[in-house]
A and B are shown apart, each in its own frame.
Chain A
Amino acid sequence: MTGRVFTDMNFRTILYTLKQGFIGIWRNRMMSLASIGSVTSTLIILGIILIMVLNVNNLAIMLKQEFDEIEVFISEDATEEQVNSLKSSLENTDGIVEIVYKSKEDALETMQDQWEDKSYLLEDLEENPFPDSFIIRVDNLEDSEAVVSSINEMEGIEDIKYFRDIVERMLTISTLVRNGGLIVIGILILISIFIISNTIKITVAARQKEISIMKYVGATNGFIRGPFIVEGVLLGIIGSIVAISIIGFGYKYLFEVASQKLYVFATVYMIPYYSLFSDIVIMFISIGVGIGVIGSVVSLRRFLKV
């Protein structure tokens, strides 16, 4: 199939191959449409799963970076002595790299900074509701469980807040989504290949006479197969372009709605659509082309014994 294809290639041959590819698609429009539809839906589902997994992973990584800290709230009625002894016990605990004392006032200030223009809401508070706390940075997020359980036994503690659970749960979910998604996508890709190969079989059947003449005159295998490969590739490319537009605009819309209607906060944790776009284009086009090529080769192998 290769090799000789290229030695015989000239401009006319390329033109002929492309033209026949387009004619093949046009001749059986309904099947072509079905093929494009199957590629498109496969890629859309792939896109949705991909975006979900990437976002969850992204969120998990961001949380991991921002919240590799444990906040230990000191109980309201703890004496200064208790606080000091708590601090020294924390200093003696393994796996802790940093301990910062955060007073109620610090906590309120931080909140005022975060809320920015809405911080006036905090001004009406009669009394500062925030407890004093220690912010602990752990060496390794995986160790936080052990650190937390040892802190739990110390005195003068109101509550402990840490994010390992959430991060872990999110990573588990994203792995599940990814694995499940891979299986679904694998099946959908096979279906797409099957549909494309059937579409091309119809074109092959319609051109049986032409093919037999080409065969007997001594056209190379590549020359005979060329138009069908082109047909498959075109179906794949069209399908992926449709999918790219739908996924691209869909995610952009979602991103914009999220930033307008929900908090700006929400989009901070979403991967911006423009940074995903080029990856999706490359990925979808190559998968679309791949499905097209495999689909046509599969159908030609049996149908076009040249």
Chain B
Amino acid sequence: MIRLQNVVKEYKNGVKALNDVNIHIEKGDFVFLVGSSGAGKSTLIKLLMKEIDPDKGKLYLANKDITKVTNRSIPEIRRLIGMVFQDFRLLQNKTVYENIAFAMEIIGQSAKEIRRQVPKVLNLVGLSHKADSFPNQLSGGEQQRVSIARAIVNNPTVLIADEPTGNLDPDTAWEIMNVLKDINRRGTTVLMATHAKDIVDVMQKRVIALSEGKVTRDDRKGVYGYEF
């Protein structure tokens, strides 16, 4: 599903954000990406989103070589990925329903398809009753669930979550984790960058640890570790 082969990414200031990284994530995996700030987590996500290109190595997503792609095919690649952010990034002037529908509208889905799909994902994240609320009327956890619903509404094959629980209290964080687990159970590959030690330790999922641009650990049923 996701494969990095000897990937090197060096920024202009000389910092090697990723240095000879090899990662292979199978379809349906649930993977935690851990590491201190500056370890290369964000760079890895940016590479997958094609915001930046690797300097060396190969990059595969859904059996496609995405190492070097034309600007025109970037949107196609991004449609394979659902993205969830720490700060939710919801549009404040749109309702919950509209926020999710927006993600379908901008890739040109039909009105019929939108009417079919949006209630489905709202139900999946347990927010059917909040469809007409505005983001500022929701709690942080609810907002994050909306942003997850938006990320999966176009049926991506991979869901990438960048510290999705970073702004949430522990109980709410677990709510979000349950939603992500649910989505993963339905066959979507989940890659979650996080600092939440307790979550990683309890979930018993695969853990890939990055440190100074290198993979220092890749455990099938891992824990967060002590080095951070």
Interface size on A, residues (CB 8 A): 22
B105 touches A8 (CB 8 A): no
Please give the distance in Å from B50's CB to the nearest CB on chain A: 10
Stretch at the interface among A215-223, A242-250, A284-292: A215-223
Counting CB contacts under 8 A, is B62 at the interface?
Answer: no
Please give the distance in Å from B93's CB to the nearest CB on chain A: 9
Counting CB contacts under 8 A, is A129 at the interface?
Answer: no
Give Cα A209–Cα B102 distance, bound, in whole angstroms. Answer: 13
CB-CB under 8 A from A221, the residues of chain B are 71-72, 75
Counting CB contacts under 8 A, is A302 at the interface?
Answer: no
Counting CB contacts under 8 A, is A213 at the interface?
Answer: yes
A213-B102 contact given A8-B107, A10-B108, A221-B71, CB 8 Å threshold: yes
- Residue interface bits A1-36, CB-to-B below 8 A is 1, else 0: 001100011101100100000000000000000000
A213 touches B91 (CB 8 A): yes
A215 touches B103 (CB 8 A): no
B89 touches A12 (CB 8 A): no
A12-B111 contact given A215-B78, A218-B79, CB 8 Å threshold: yes
Q: For chain B residues 62-84, which have a beta carbon within 8 Å of chain A?
A: 71-72, 74-79, 81, 83
Contact of B75 among A4, A10, A212 (CB under 8 A): A4
Contact of B108 among A8, A212, A216 (CB under 8 A): A8
CB-CB under 8 A from B71, the residues of chain A are 221, 306
B83 touches A4 (CB 8 A): no
Please give the distance in Å from A231's CB to the nearest CB on chain B: 17
CB-CB under 8 A from A13, the residues of chain B are 108
CB-CB under 8 A from B72, the residues of chain A are 3-4, 220-221
Question: What are the 6 A-B residue pairs with the smallest beta carbon separation, nearest first?
Answer: A218-B78, A218-B79, A219-B106, A216-B83, A8-B108, A218-B75
Please give the distance in Å from B66's CB to the nearest CB on chain A: 13
Q: A10-B110, A215-B78, A306-B74 are in contact. List 15 more A-B contacts (CB 8 A).
A: A3-B72, A8-B107, A209-B91, A213-B103, A216-B83, A217-B106, A217-B107, A218-B76, A218-B77, A218-B79, A218-B107, A219-B106, A219-B107, A220-B75, A221-B71
Interface residues of A (CB under 8 A from B): 3-4, 8-10, 12-13, 16, 209-210, 212-221, 223, 306
Q: What would be 27 A-B contacts, judged by CB atoms less than 8 Å apart?
A: A3-B72, A8-B108, A9-B108, A10-B108, A10-B110, A12-B105, A12-B108, A16-B105, A209-B91, A210-B91, A213-B89, A213-B103, A213-B150, A216-B49, A216-B78, A216-B83, A217-B83, A217-B103, A217-B106, A217-B150, A218-B75, A218-B79, A218-B107, A219-B106, A221-B75, A223-B108, A306-B74
Residue in A16, A215, A217 whose Cβ sees the most chain B Cβ within 10 Å: A217
Interface residues of B (CB under 8 A from A): 49, 71-72, 74-79, 81, 83, 89, 91, 102-103, 105-108, 110-111, 150, 154
A214 touches B83 (CB 8 A): no
CB-CB under 8 A from A3, the residues of chain B are 72
Please give the distance in Å from A214's CB to the nearest CB on chain B: 5
Closest to A219 in B: B106
A223 touches B106 (CB 8 A): yes
Closest to A305 in B: B51
Please give the distance in Å from A270's CB to the nearest CB on chain B: 53
Give Cα A216–Cα B82 distance, bound, in whole angstroms. Answer: 8
Give Cα A174–Cα B105 distance, bound, in whole angstroms. Answer: 55
